[in-house]
């Protein structure tokens, strides 16, 4: 998941040490509740802990809420099926706050005090620091980060079933081209994920013979973007490829509307932004009609008509801990957490072990499916097949999983929008092969 | 050329908001010798009060006035209840600064506890667009510029034409001597915090009108620009703060128009460093406040 165009605050200007200290101390303000990954080590007969590593507090807590929701759904479905090797699984929320400075001590503490059987989450803002820790602890993980660096990672316990940021950037252009737009203004907030999209956008625009009327990086949460808007307007773009947190996007679009006489081209952005906070912020300044007709959110694809999705949806709505099921279902990449937990749990059963070094290789085997393997679309179905002595091939909510040599399986892409009530709705599918061609 | 003129206009609009807050900040420091970091949190509080009032159907300018009045009272109470007693007991300059940092954090916690950590929005309050001579402004920007200019003139008249203003200047120059001359410096300081609190509140709402959408970090994030403007103009100098605000606003907007917008703030702060290298006490500084700051 490319979390960076969500709600992380921009870096504060340096220089005023006292103020910086105050801000640093104030950042955990949003820590109204939430939990961290501490706790006592689980006894062998206790539940298997699934570490959900993400921002559970702070400005990006919405991401943590999505991650934990998907984990609770998987917890529900796995435990309803009888658990893993006689043990229930339990989601253990480990708060990385979206800040590497907090992430390292928090994750280190969790790894030292809790026996984690698997990990999920590990998003872009902190992935570069948290993934090495989890990998060194030999805990298999399914990450939702979008960092291009992990396209060719050699971390043995790392697995990713979502596209990297440059692929997502290319998918933005693929969708824009499908809608008939040829002139694009690219405006990205200066954070790690948005910047990761940029190379893919540039390459794809060149490939399709389009025109990039502007390619600007903006600071987040500024009081005004008027000069930037004036530059963008001068290029007369047909579409805005815009990645920013809700506050940044709302301020930018509001000023665009003001300076353009009310005419704002369609916005193409990441599914990371298809959140209630984004909907609320942008709708208030742009109106419901614009948000529902002219905003497109591109990200990892899930097939809503599949049986796997139906089971996922049932689990999301059945898990009592899930706070916002509609939003969780609308963010496709989050389903990879559910799929990841199901896949790793099945790997444990197949390996007859909950030890990472033992079951890690079975993850790839079950995703690929040996000749003659039974295709299963849920943990329960896979468990039943394994108990029956059969080989299994897991095809989950995100469709078939094709891990490459670097444990990446980007899959297809979806284009989603908002309904008038702010719920996500699927608008179309962009084949992964199309995106790969744009990047080739 | 068109972009240059436009960006100058945008810079003036941004600078007006910075100046509005910076004038209050610098006057407060000049008179009480307290570098009040709580100022940012009080701006946030004003923005949230404005939001609540807008939600109740109040006009945005009325909301600004009410928020300014509320923050004025909060500011005076902060000084009377927390800062002044500490100063009386001999707490040092840095100690008081740390207390204001702490108070700001507490206020932010309270805001989050009551209003939540999510972003909120004023919606479109910008009004219609007005163009002329290459400049483009919204009506709300023009109103904010007018308010800033009016505040500047009012402060000028207050400081130069009234007994209270003379007492304020005397307190700023040397509070011990001012007390020995019969000036009730405590009362003067209270009034200074009341007036500057009102400017803080007005700046908080003006900022929220500009950003449209914001969260609990809005004030502290913006405070650094106001401090920069105050220091650039010469700490303790209201005219200097206004000029400093305009410089920060114009430089950042022009930089955004002609270079990577990602570095627009870097240019503004580079100008600050350059000015301070040439004029260590800022553009307008000559008073006691600047001397105190350079000693602190």
Of B37, B191, B7, whose CA–CA distance to A224 is shortest?
B7
Size of interface A-B (CB pairs under 8 A): 171
Q: What is the pLDDT of residues A231-275, one digit of tens each?
A: 999 999 999 999 988 889 999 999 999 889 889 999 999 888 888
In this structure, are residues B200 and B71 in contact, taking their beta carbons and an 8 Å threshold? yes
Residue A42: per-residue pLDDT? 46
Q: Which residue has the higher pLDDT, B163 or A30?
A: B163
Residue A21 pLDDT > 60, yes or no? no
Contacts of A224 in chain B (CB under 8 A): 10, 13-14, 210-211, 253
Q: Nearest CB to B269: which of A15, A21, A25? A: A15
Residue A193: per-residue pLDDT? 67
In this complex, do A224 and B210 lie within 8 Å of one another by their Cβ atoms?
A: yes
ipTM associated with this complex: 0.84
Q: What is the pLDDT of residues B191-231, one digit of tens each?
A: 999 999 999 999 999 999 998 889 898 998 889 899 999 98
Number of domain units in chain A: 1
- Is B212 near chain A, with CB under 8 Å? yes
Residue B173: per-residue pLDDT? 80
In this complex, do A219 and B265 lie within 8 Å of one another by their Cβ atoms?
A: yes
Calculate mean pLDDT across residues A16-38: 38
Q: What is the pLDDT of residues A177-214, one digit of tens each?
A: 999 999 999 999 987 767 888 899 999 999 999 999 99
What CATH code is carried by the domain that includes residue A434? Answer: 3.40.50.2300
In this structure, are residues A50 and A119 in contact, taking their beta carbons and an 8 Å threshold? yes
Question: Cα(B183)–Cα(A241) distance, rounded to whole angstroms?
Answer: 61
Q: Nearest CB to A285: which of B13, B118, B212? A: B212
Contacts of A232 in chain B (CB under 8 A): none
Give the confidence band of A366 by pLDDT, cuts at 50, 70, 90. Answer: very high
Q: What is the pLDDT of residues A124-147, one digit of tens each?
A: 889 999 999 999 999 999 999 989
- Longest CA–CA span in chain B (Å) reads 58
Q: Where are the alpha helices (DSSP H) in A90-191?
A: 100-113, 124-136, 165-178
Of A279, A228, A214, A285, whose CA–CA distance to A416 is shortest?
A279
Structure tokens at A170: 């290319």
In this complex, do A22 and B37 lie within 8 Å of one another by their Cβ atoms?
A: yes
> With a CB-CB cutoff of 8 Å, which residues 130-159 of chain B face chain A?
136, 138
Contacts of B108 in chain A (CB under 8 A): 26, 29
- Is B38 near chain A, with CB under 8 Å? no
Q: Average model confidence (pLDDT) for chain A? A: 87
* Chain A contact probe: residue of B25, B204, B213 with most A CBs at under 10 A: B213
**How far off is chain B from A279, nearest CA to CA, in Å?**
11
Calculate mean pLDDT across residues B100-108: 95
Q: How far is CA A125 from CA A55, A365, B71, B74, B225, in A?
A: 9, 30, 36, 38, 26
In this complex, do B6 and A230 lie within 8 Å of one another by their Cβ atoms?
A: yes
* Chain A contact probe: residue of B217, B248, B257, B260 with most A CBs at under 10 A: B217
Residue A314: per-residue pLDDT? 96
**How far off is chain B from A60, nearest CA to CA, in Å?**
9
Calculate mean pLDDT across residues A112-123: 94
In this complex, do B124 and A219 lie within 8 Å of one another by their Cβ atoms?
A: no
Tell me whether residue A143 is in a domain: no
In this complex, do A251 and B213 lie within 8 Å of one another by their Cβ atoms?
A: yes
Residue A80: per-residue pLDDT? 96
- Concatenating the DSSP letter of every residue in A196-207 gives HHHHHHHHHHHH
Q: What is the pLDDT of residues A296-319, one digit of tens each?
A: 999 888 877 889 999 999 999 999
- Is B186 near chain A, with CB under 8 Å? no
In this complex, do B126 and A219 lie within 8 Å of one another by their Cβ atoms?
A: no
Contacts of A18 in chain B (CB under 8 A): 35, 37, 97-98, 101
- The DSSP H or E segment spanning A187 is strand A183-189
Residue B135: per-residue pLDDT? 85
Residue A360: per-residue pLDDT? 97
Residue A379 pLDDT > 60, yes or no? yes
Q: Which residue has the higher pLDDT, B135 or B95?
A: B95
**N- to C-terminal Cα distance for chain A?**
22
**How far off is chain A from B30, nearest CA to CA, in Å?**
19
Neighbours of A203 (CB within 10 A): 16
Question: Cα(B281)–Cα(B290) distance, rounded to whole angstroms?
Answer: 6
Residue A15 pLDDT > 60, yes or no? no
Tell me whether residue A107 is in a domain: no
Question: Cα(A332)–Cα(A430) distance, rounded to whole angstroms?
Answer: 13
In this complex, do B121 and A281 lie within 8 Å of one another by their Cβ atoms?
A: yes
In this complex, do A13 and B265 lie within 8 Å of one another by their Cβ atoms?
A: yes
Contacts of A258 in chain B (CB under 8 A): 126, 129, 138
Contacts of B98 in chain A (CB under 8 A): 18
Residue B63: per-residue pLDDT? 96
Calculate mean pLDDT across residues B237-250: 89
- The domain ranges of chain B are 2-295
Question: Cα(A164)–Cα(A332) distance, rounded to whole angstroms?
Answer: 14
């Amino acid at each position: 998941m490319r979390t960076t165009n969500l709600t992380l605050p921009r870096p504060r200007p340096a220089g005023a040490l006292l103020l910086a200290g105050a801000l640093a101390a104030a950042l955990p303000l949003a820590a109204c509740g939430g939990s961290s990954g501490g706790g006592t080590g689980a006894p062998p007969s206790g539940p298997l802990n699934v570490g959900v590593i993400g921002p559970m507090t702070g400005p990006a807590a919405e991401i943590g809420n999505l991650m934990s929701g998907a984990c609770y759904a998987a917890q529900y479905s796995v435990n309803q099926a009888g658990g893993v090797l006689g043990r229930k699984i339990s989601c253990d929320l480990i708060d990385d706050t979206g800040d590497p400075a907090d992430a390292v001590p928090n994750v280190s503490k969790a790894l030292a005090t809790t026996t984690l059987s698997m990990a999920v989450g590990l998003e872009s803002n902190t992935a570069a620091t948290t993934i090495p820790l989890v990998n060194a602890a030999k805990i298999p993980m399914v990450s939702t980060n979008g960092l291009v660096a992990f396209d060719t990672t050699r971390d043995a316990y790392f697995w990713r079933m979502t596209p990297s940021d440059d692929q997502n950037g290319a998918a933005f252009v693929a969708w824009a081209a499908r809608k008939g737009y040829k002139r694009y203004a690219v405006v990205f907030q200066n954070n790690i994920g948005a910047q990761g999209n940029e190379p893919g956008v540039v390459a794809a625009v060149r490939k399709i013979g389009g025109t990039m009327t502007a390619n600007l990086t903006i600071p987040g949460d500024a009081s005004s973007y008027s000069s930037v808007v004036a530059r963008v307007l001068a290029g007369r773009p047909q579409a805005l490829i815009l990645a920013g947190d809700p506050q940044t996007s709302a301020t930018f679009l509001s000023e665009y509307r003001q300076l353009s006489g009310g005419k704002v081209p369609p916005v193409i952005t990441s599914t990371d932004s298809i959140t209630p906070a984004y909907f609320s912020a942008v709708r208030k300044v742009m109106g419901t009609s614009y948000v529902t007709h002219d905003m497109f959110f591109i990200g990892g694809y899930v097939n809503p008509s599949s049986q796997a999705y139906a089971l996922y949806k049932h689990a999301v709505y059945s898990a009592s801990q899930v706070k916002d099921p509609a939003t969780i279902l609308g963010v496709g990449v989050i389903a990879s957490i559910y799929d990841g937990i199901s896949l790793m749990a099945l790997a444990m059963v197949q390996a007859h072990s909950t030890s990472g070094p033992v079951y890690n290789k079975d993850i790839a085997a079950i995703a690929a499916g040996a000749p003659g393997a039974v295709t299963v679309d849920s943990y329960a179905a896979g468990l039943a097949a394994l108990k029956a002595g059969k080989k299994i091939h897991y095809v989950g909510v995100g469709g078939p999983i094709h891990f490459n040599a670097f444990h990446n399986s980007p899959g297809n892409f979806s284009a989603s929008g908002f309904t008038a009530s702010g719920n996500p709705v699927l608008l179309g599918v962009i084949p992964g092969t199309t995106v790969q061609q744009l990047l080739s | 050329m068109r972009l240059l003129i436009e960006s100058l206009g945008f810079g003036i609009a941004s600078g007006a908001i910075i100046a509005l807050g910076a004038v209050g900040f610098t006057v407060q420091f000049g008179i009480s010798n307290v570098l009040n970091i709580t100022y940012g949190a009080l701006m946030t509080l004003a923005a949230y009060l404005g939001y609540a009032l807008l939600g109740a159907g109040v006009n945005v300018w009325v909301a600004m006035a009410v928020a300014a009045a509320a923050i004025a009272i909060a500011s005076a109470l902060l000084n009377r209840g927390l800062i002044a007693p500490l100063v009386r007991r001999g707490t040092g300059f840095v100690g008081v600064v740390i207390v204001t940092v702490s108070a700001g954090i507490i206020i932010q916690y309270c805001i989050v506890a009551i209003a939540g950590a999510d972003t909120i929005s004023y919606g479109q309050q910008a009004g219609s667009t007005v163009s002329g001579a290459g400049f483009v402004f919204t009506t709300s920007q023009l109103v904010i510029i007018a308010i800033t200019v009016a505040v500047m003139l009012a402060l000028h008249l207050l400081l130069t034409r009234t007994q209270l203003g003379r007492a304020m200047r005397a307190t700023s120059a040397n509070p011990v001597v001012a007390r020995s001359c019969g000036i009730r410096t405590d009362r003067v300081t209270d009034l200074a915090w009341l007036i500057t609190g009102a400017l803080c509140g007005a700046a908080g709402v003006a900022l929220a009108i500009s950003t449209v959408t914001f969260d609990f970090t809005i004030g502290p994030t913006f405070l650094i620009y106001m401090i920069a403007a105050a220091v650039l103009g010469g700490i303790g100098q209201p005219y200097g703060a206004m000029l400093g605000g305009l410089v920060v606003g114009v430089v950042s907007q022009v930089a955004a128009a002609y270079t990577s917008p990602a570095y627009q703030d870097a240019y503004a702060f580079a100008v600050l460093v350059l000015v301070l290298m040439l004029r260590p006490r800022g553009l307008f500084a000559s008073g006691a406040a600047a001397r105190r700051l350079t000693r602190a």
